[in-house]
Structure 1
Amino acid sequence: MRAGVLGIALLVAMNAHAAESPYRLTLQLPLYDSAANKVTGFSPSLLQAQALTQDFYLGSHRLLAEVFSTEQSAIGHPFEYFALLAFDYVSQITPLGMSWLHEEAHRSVLNQYGIRSHNGVYDASLSDSSIPVDEVRDVDLIRLKREHPADFVRLSTAGMEAESQLALNLEKAQFFDRALPRQRFLILLAHLGPISYRTFCDSRSGDHATAEDLATEGPNEMSRDFTGYDCVSYVYDLFRPFEPYEARGPHPSGEGIARYRSRDDLTSTEKNYLRRMSLMGWLNLVDPFLLDFSGWTWGDRRWAATLRHHLTPFGHSLEENIFLKDADRDDAGHLFIVRQYTNQKRTLPGIEWQCFGCQTWKDGMSLDLRAGLWWQPKSLLYASRRWRPGGFLAVQIKQTLNQNTTAFAEVMSKSGGWMADEINLSPATDLRLGLTLQFH
């Protein structure tokens, strides 16, 4: 974390005397989010964690470009790409890196119900095969599953969801906000993380790792991960939302509950579902931003399109993201997201619209909008037969303070339902306040 802060400080210092670049660095400082629930220590909201990780990577990538004097070029120095590969890979297990974001997403589900936890990234090293979210009590997991079964399923999927959303946010920064196009390898890592995780869960290696973890853990429940390998737990609880958590059985040490699930705990139907979700994860690689890409031309517009597949509390969601902007404008545009929500019984649609720079005024004030409609299972559970409409609206007002700084205030209100990056499954209205820093 100290390295990231130092890097951004050095970048700002170099930017003070650098020639203006056709690209710019935009850092988000989400100072307040009413959705954040402080439990212990540093516990950002899910959106705050996303913003911090994006800042960390965009700032560090720009710093490397400054070092190699390529900040005004779409193409980096050959040695710069080696540095980017090394940095993006190693930084995954540092605070603010991608693994940190993954674990903070799990913690955000726990935080909203006052459940204490610890992000294992702060103690991790490159030799670690897995990173836990620990210091979670069995009694809290028992309560969470009993009282909030949909949130309990989402607890297992939140980390992979956050990684996929990071890829989308980086693509938005590059397409709409003139971010330096150095994100290809990081976007690939954001896709391959969940893909490889799903594949590992659906393998004999995953089963062996789960058995070994259960056999070698000691009797202290606070040193255990909250769930083991996410994808298997997701399927297990997706099909058993009302099974008491205690039914997992006693831990081999004789103390507490055996939290971790393997494929041996799944029925043949559940194993087939795990395999299908593993295969569908590869759809996330339908993404032109993995190439040297800034959009296709359509008349006086530029556009792009990607696919995303998310695991949800009620099953899964497949979405098509369509980016659109005027070719001569880099600070405004539209993102349309068409979704198909699927549970055991049916598939129904949803749509989202994000408008950047919808309205601007002469005094430096501008307006961004986000809105969405959906049909999702009423109980947000896999076997639910009843579906209901829902949606959300977010209004963000931005005010320019000086050449580099903009203040923003956003109000977001949603009905009951799942949204990627919004932690509340129940109806909620949240206020976000912060600053945006821009450097050319």
Structure 2
Amino acid sequence: MLHKAYSLLFFCFILTFTSSAQNTDSLISPKIQLTFPLIDAPYIGYATRTVNNGQPTAGAILRGYANPSMQQSLALTADLYTAVHYGIQRGVAKYRRIDNEKRWHKKFFNSSIHYLADFVLTYSPLGGGWLHEEYHRGVMTLGKVNSFNGMNKFPIGASTVAVSHVADEDLVRFKASDSKSFIRMQVAGIEGEYLLVDRLQRNNFFYRQSLMFESQYVLTTLNSALYVLVCSQPKIANVETDKMNQKEAEVKVRDFTGLDFNGWAYDLFRPNEPYEARGVHPSGNGIDRYRTTRHLTPDQLTYLNKQGKLQFLNFLSPMMFGVRSLRIGQTGWNGNFAVRHLLTSFGNDISLQVYLMNTQHRAALTYHRYKNFEKGYSAIEGSMIDVPLSLSSKKNLLFTPRVIVGMQPRNQDFMTKRADFLGLVGTRVDLVSKSSKWSPYIDVDAKTSGWVAGNEFLGPRLAGRFGLAVRINN
């Protein structure tokens, strides 16, 4: 469920307008890359069973695409934002009527169009709000909990949007069988939104796209941070929840959790409490799903409030404010960085990401600091981007390997000082031809038990994806 911070939309626009480094005097036609993951296994098996009452029939495979994986929904949303901003950029560049206008007039015109587009996309199918809900649904699908994404109704202007048509019995079963995934489910929404920011920033940096995504970065980050923060404010969270309970007499129209972070904090401290212990809904029909600040102890509320304040770490990046690349002296290297704060199945992950690139190499390095209630744990992550291997004068393979090594709380527990090893190794391989913009690719990774952003599975898993990528160079 997505709470919109309407009062700060104007602030977002002004911030984007004044800080963007986009040169509107010489707008360029950027290079773009779009990705279409067609098959994601073994996730597709879970989706097939979820939409077909547990039966993995051949006819249900196609219907399983109604529940896309995290990687599929992220790719579709990133593609949409990229295509829209690419189209706007090309359109403004060709709009000769503003050639003689003052520079700030051009900048205002350009920023206004981008900001309006990002605002509309937030409420659109395949947009940022849709991605938020699909990340919830991706985890729910692993628990065979079927649902409906309310963003598919294009609810522009709505303050809350539900993942609805969820049965109480499914939530009871899901928490009893996999409480850690149940906890993660409730915060997966903003995980998806921050990964969208990360994907757009990476592509802008590594492919030198020069697309004006800053309004999307600021709007998404501010909205997400405020959403977490207001969940600890009784005058907002409790009033909003009471309103929802009053108008939602039917179980099928209710959201799966209400305000995401009240439910997350409640279950984080109570992983073994049966879901049905929440009691009866105020209407007398079904389980009382939604948690408020009244259901949290003072210490638990303090913890939630702290996480809301830490969310503002996500603003710590030059890329948020239009600085898309930083020259590193006379080394020939360019770089950039971003700080992320994500909520997890065991607490949080605060990370520092560094992007590096020269004429021959592209690399991303990340230091993760995972934290539960008792202790911090560390991990490092590294990846190379599009390492070429020539097959012929017209065809190349592009390798994008990725490795994560570190420690996380044992069994994803919130209240432990013990650790488990976390490891992930994977690579994506694209077959690129000079004669075609389209490139088939495969993406394979294997992981130990543990939380990895953008990966639905908390247990050990070997997964693979096949899809098509399109590269447009102007």
**Superposition TM-score, scaled by structure 1 size:** 0.91
Aligned with residue 213 of structure 1, among 244, 259, 268: 244
Task: Tell me how far apart the structure 2 counterparts of residues 94 and 357 of structure 1 sit (CA, whole Å).
Answer: 31
| Structure 2 partner of 1:48 | 72
1:11 aligned partner: none
User: Which amino acid is the alignment partner of residue 438 of structure 1?
Assistant: R
CA distance in 2, matches of 1:393, 1:139: 37
Return the alpha-carbon distance in structure 2 between the equivalents of residues 170 and 94 of structure 1: 18
Aligned twin of 1:193: 223
C-alpha distance in structure 2 between counterparts of 1:249 and 1:124, whole Å: 33
Separation in 1, partners of 2:152, 2:75: 19
Choose the corresponding residue for 1:301, options 308, 333, 342: 333
Deviates more, 1:424-433 or 1:358-367: 358-367
Equivalent position to 1:366, from 375, 385, 398: 398
- Cα shift at 1:216: 2.5
Aligned partner letter, 2:37 = P
Q: Hey, what does 2:18 align to over in structure 1?
A: none
Indicate the SS of the match to 1:335. Answer: strand
Deviation, structure 1 residue 144? 0.9
Deviation at 1:362, TM superposition (A): 4.3
**Structure 1 residue aligned with 2:173:** 143
Name the CA distance, whole Å, in 2 between partners of 1:355 and 1:374: 19
Is 2:460 the counterpart of 1:427? yes
Give the structure 2 partner of residue 437 of structure 1: 470
* Corresponding residue number in structure 2 for 1:279: 309
| Structure 2 equivalent of residue 337 of structure 1 | 366
Which residue matches 2:93? 69
SS in 1 for 2:386: strand
Aligned amino acid, residue 408 of structure 1:
Y
Equivalent residues of 1:165, 1:421 under 8 A apart: yes
Partner secondary structure for residue 65 of structure 1 = helix
* Per-residue CA distance 1:328-373 (angstroms, 9 max, x = gap): 35xx411001010111221010111111023422431121101101
Instruction: Measure the CA separation in 1 of the matches of 2:438 and 2:421.
Output: 39
Residue number among 407, 410, 414 corresponding to 2:447 in the alignment? 414
Shift of 1:168: 0.6
Paired letter, 1:43: N
Query: Which secondary structure does the structure 2 equivalent of 1:193 belong to?
Result: helix
Q: Give the equivalent residue in structure 1 for 2:23.
A: none
Q: CA deviation at 1:126?
A: 2.1
Aligned counterparts, 1:24-43, within 5 A: 24-34=31-41, 35-36=43-44, 37-38=46-47, 39-40=50-51, 41=63, 42-43=66-67
Residue type at the aligned position of 1:53: T
Partners in 1 of 2:354 and 2:190 — Cα distance? 22
Q: Secondary structure at the match of 1:68?
A: helix
Q: Where do residues 207-286 of structure 1 align in structure 2 (5 Å cutoff)?
A: 207-218=238-249, 220-286=250-316
SS of 1:437's equivalent in the other structure is strand
Matched, 1:375 2:407: yes
Q: How many residues align?
A: 414
Q: Give the letter for the 1:384 counterpart.
A: T
Tell me by how many angstroms 1:248 deviates: 0.8
| One-letter amino acid matched to 1:57 | Y
Whole-Å Cα distance in 2 between the matches of residues 346 and 290 of structure 1? 30
Unaligned runs of 5+ in 2: 1-27, 52-62, 96-103
Q: TM-score, normalised by structure 2?
A: 0.84
Q: 1-side partners of 2:373 and 2:349: how far apart?
A: 12
CA contact (8 A) 2:29 2:89 kept: no
SS at match of 1:436: strand
Structure-2 residue corresponding to 1:14:
none
CA 1:240–1:65: 2 relative to 1, 3 Å: same
Unaligned runs of 5+ in 1: 1-20
Give 1:291's aligned amino acid: F
How far apart, CA to CA, are the structure 2 residues paired with 1:232 and 1:341? 21
Amino acid corresponding to residue 69 of structure 1 in structure 2? A
Query: In structure 2, what is the equivalent of residue 178 of structure 1?
Result: 208
Question: CA offset at residue 201 of structure 1?
Answer: 0.6
